[in-house]
Amino acid sequence: MVTELTYTENIFAGTRAELLAKISQQLKPKRFKHVQRVEQTAITLAKRNAVDLEKASIAGLVHDYAKQRPDEDFITAIKQYHLDPMLLDYGNAIWHGVVGAELIKHELGIYDEDILNAVRHHTTGAVYMSPLEQIVYMADYIEPQRDFPGVDEARQLAKTDLAKSVAFQAKHTLEYLVENGKPVYPKSIDTYNAWVPQYPTI
Ligand SMILES: [Fe+2]
Ligand SMILES: [Fe+2]
């Protein structure tokens, strides 16, 4: 069952349908469906964790807003908004979150810092993550079409212990990057250190 929230908090200056229309202009159909699944998963997790449902809906829908933008748009934004120049050493995987949040702010007029941080941190996690940030980080990982070894365990943990599920993802994502010789964004290591040693057995 799809929950179509009626927005009342004026976080976005428009209806959910208007926000969906703006996002659909930015994303190919497959990714557009993904963000709607993340929204629904985020709403379910928000209900369980007493997090604002409208924020969960908006954050879920916008989290990949910038995913399909060309590299030049991110490079321009890093310079224009005076973001950490070290970001220039990375690529879309990092940019669509950290830099994407700035595009969301300026293009969609969404200024809620909790939502923007949820976007900024949805791929790498962060040392401190608010409940909303944890929800979006997990919803992106466990939405119904995700299929990887361990996803059922991640879904179960997210249901019962949100913080522990964050630790699970931080550990398994870092393992995946290292095993596949992929670059590790330094902040992902900070995330690992902040979350994983609390749960040595996961
Ligand atoms: Fe993403
Ligand atoms: Fe995503």
Check pLDDT > 90 for residue 183. no
Find the 37 Cα to ligand 2 centroid distance in Å: 9
Which pair of structure tokens corresponds to residue 29?
A: 């159909």
Mean pLDDT of 57-62: 99
Q: Do residues 169 and 191 lie in contact, with contact meaning Cβ atoms separated by under 8 Å? A: no
Question: How many whole angstroms separate alpha carbon 93 and alpha carbon 47?
Answer: 29
Among residues 51, 46, 44, the alpha carbon closest in space to that of 2 is found at 44
pTM, to two decimals = 0.97
Which pair of structure tokens corresponds to residue 186?
A: 């330094």
Among residues 144, 117, 124, the alpha carbon closest in space to that of 43 is found at 144
Q: Which one of the ligands is nearest to 96 CA? A: 1
Find the 200 Cα to ligand 1 centroid distance in Å: 27
Q: What pLDDT digit, counting tens, does each position of 144-173 carry? A: 999 999 999 999 999 999 999 999 999 999
Find the 34 Cα to ligand 2 centroid distance in Å: 7
H/E segment holding residue 40: helix 29-48
